[in-house]
């Protein structure tokens, strides 16, 4: 069974020949890691041992609109960068500054009601990217990688633009305004998604965003209204075409929301972070929702990158033991490798993780 078949079998909650194992690297197209010699050994191991997803980020424009908007960027005396965007109702600004990630946000695009009104003045305009390169790459990687298209969901699209503290306050003080932004976001994402489905992309569609609506920023009521109600529409559209699959991505403490995620109807949920950062025990999640969607996770990246070889093997064995019985499980870290250069220990450990997944992941399970 090749990588794409193995991954899709797991997303159907069926049992493949072995547990699919991901590393969130594409060794066939990843120019970022491919340009760094410190990633060479890990990329080679990924080709040999991992199941690979080729991911394409759908170009969403600004607020999912294809309208032409005037942009400007200034470098301020203190080194910050000020980005300006002209809307029909006035300017929006974003300020960034260098940090450990490379560039961090100092001021978000949306931090006031007037900013939100400017955002909503951006007209609808269809997003029509050329889909032919995606289809060509999918053909080139046939049998090597499963093809995936990544979108924000409505709360993800809005949450990326709005100051987090403001977003939390607006769930109480400006709920109607927040709903208006989410309605526009959902309508535009659905249109872009329909373009992809009509253009024969996929088969996997991956949606980011629900973590914005988890406590402590928002309440269970907010999650139902701002995630479940909207994301269900996205997933229903994906499933309107045969052999198309939807994965929802969310960091955070999702354990108490697993049944609400199941209401969305998606095929897989990642990353199911374990304690202490998250709160999801795979065996418990398997018992509660394992028949509803594929479990994708759930080893913390730092534990993989910094542990001993024996600890890495124990983490792999325990995740497989809890999540893999009967199928419907994909083993993966809770984050992708991000260091540059990649430390030798992290490289060795991640390669060991892949090898241990191959060693212990064959069905019938023996762990």
308 CB neighbour count, 10 Å cutoff: 11
Instruction: Give yes or no for residue 168 having a pLDDT over 80.
Output: yes
Across residues 70-77, what is the average pLDDT? 94
Rounded Cα distance between 40 and 93, Å, is 39
Q: How far apart are CA 132 and CA 138, in angstroms?
A: 10
d(CA 250, CA 177): 24
69-78: average pLDDT? 93
% of the chain exceeding 90 in pLDDT: 95
CATH of 3-66+127-360, one of 3.30.1370.110, 1.25.40.340, 3.40.630.10, 3.20.20.210: 3.20.20.210
Mean pLDDT of the chain, nearest integer:
96
**Residues linked to residue 87 through DSSP beta bridges, in sequence order:** 90
Mean pLDDT of 210-232: 96
The domain segmentation of the chain, as residue ranges, is 3-66+127-360, 68-122
Paired tokens of 206: 């991956």
Summarised one tens digit per residue, pLDDT across range 293-341 is: 999 999 999 999 999 999 999 999 999 999 999 999 999 999 999 898 9
- Would you place residue 102 in the very low, low, confident or very high pLDDT band (cuts 50, 70, 90)? confident
Region 223-245: mean pLDDT is 98
Kindly report the pTM of this predicted structure: 0.96
**Statement: residue 52 has pLDDT above 80:** yes
Please state, as a whole number, how many other Cβ atoms lie within 10 Å of the Cβ of residue 72. 11
For 85-114, b where at least 16 C-beta lie within 10 A, e where not — what string? bebeeeebebbbeeeeeeeeeeebbbbeee
Q: How many CB atoms lie within 10 A of CB 28?
A: 16
Strand 294-299 with 268-271, pairing? parallel
Q: How confident is the model at residue 101 (pLDDT cuts 50, 70, 90)?
A: low
What backbone phi and psi angles, to 5 degrees, belong to 183? Answer: -60, -45
pLDDT score, position 82: 96
Q: What does the DSSP 8-state code read for residue 278? A: S
**What is the Cα–Cα distance from 5 to 53, expressed in whole angstroms?**
11
Mean pLDDT value of segment 15-38:
95
Across 11-35, average pLDDT = 95
User: Taking Cα atoms as reference points, which of 286, 259, 366, 362 lies closest to residue 20?
Assistant: 362
Q: Rounded distance, CA 339 to CA 26, Å?
A: 16
- For residues 198 and 201, what is the distance between their CA atoms, to the nearest angstrom? 8
Residue bearing the bigger pLDDT, 103 or 299: 299
pLDDT band at 98 (very low <50, low <70, confident <90, very high): confident
Please check whether residue 24 is in contact with residue 333, taking contact to mean a CB–CB distance below 8 angstroms. Answer: yes
Q: What is the arithmetic mean of pLDDT over 63-84?
A: 94
296 membership: H or E segment, kind and range: strand 294-299
Return the percentage of the chain with pLDDT > 70, whole number: 99
| Residue range 325-337, pLDDT digits in tens | 999 999 999 999 9
Residue 296 pairs with which residues in a beta bridge?
A: 270, 330
316 three-state secondary structure: helix
């Amino acid at each position: 069974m090749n990588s794409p078949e193995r991954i899709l079998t797991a997303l159907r909650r069926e049992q493949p020949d072995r547990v699919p194992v991901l590393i969130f690297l594409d060794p066939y197209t990843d120019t970022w890691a491919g340009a760094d010699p410190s990633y060479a050994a890990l990329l080679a191991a990924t080709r040999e041992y991992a199941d690979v997803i080729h991911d394409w980020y759908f170009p969403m424009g600004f607020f999912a609109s294809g309208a032409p908007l005037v942009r400007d960027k200034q470098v301020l005396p203190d080194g910050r960068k000020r980005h300006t965007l002209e809307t029909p109702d006035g300017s929006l600004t974003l300020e960034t500054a260098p940090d450990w990630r490379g560039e961090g946000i100092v001021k978000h695009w949306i931090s006031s009601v007037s900013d939100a009104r400017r955002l909503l003045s951006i007209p609808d305009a269809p997003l029509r990217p050329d889909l032919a390169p995606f289809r060509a790459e999918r053909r080139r990687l046939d049998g090597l990688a499963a093809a995936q298209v990544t979108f924000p969901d409505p709360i993800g699209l809005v949450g990326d633009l709005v100051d987090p503290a403001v977003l939390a306050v607006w769930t109480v003080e400006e709920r109607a305004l927040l709903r208006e932004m989410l309605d526009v976001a959902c309508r535009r994402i659905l249109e872009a998604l329909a373009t992809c489905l009509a253009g024969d992309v996929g088969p996997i569609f991956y949606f980011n965003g629900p973590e914005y609506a988890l406590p402590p920023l928002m309440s269970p009521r907010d999650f139902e209204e701002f995630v479940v109600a909207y994301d269900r529409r996205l997933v229903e559209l994906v499933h309107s075409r045969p052999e198309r699959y939807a994965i929802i991505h969310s960091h955070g403490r999702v354990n108490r929301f697993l049944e609400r995620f199941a209401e969305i109807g998606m095929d897989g949920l990642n990353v199911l972070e374990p304690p202490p950062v998250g709160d999801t025990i795979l065996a418990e999640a398997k018992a509660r929702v394992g028949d509803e969607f594929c479990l994708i996770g759930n080893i913390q990246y730092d534990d993989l990158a910094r542990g001993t070889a024996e600890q890495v093997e124990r983490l792999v064995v325990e995740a497989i033991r809890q999540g893999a019985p009967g199928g419907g499980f994909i083993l993966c870290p809770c984050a992708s490798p991000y260091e540059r250069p990649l430390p030798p220990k992290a490289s060795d450990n991640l390669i060991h993780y892949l090898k241990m997944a191959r060693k212990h992941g064959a069905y019938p399970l023996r762990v």
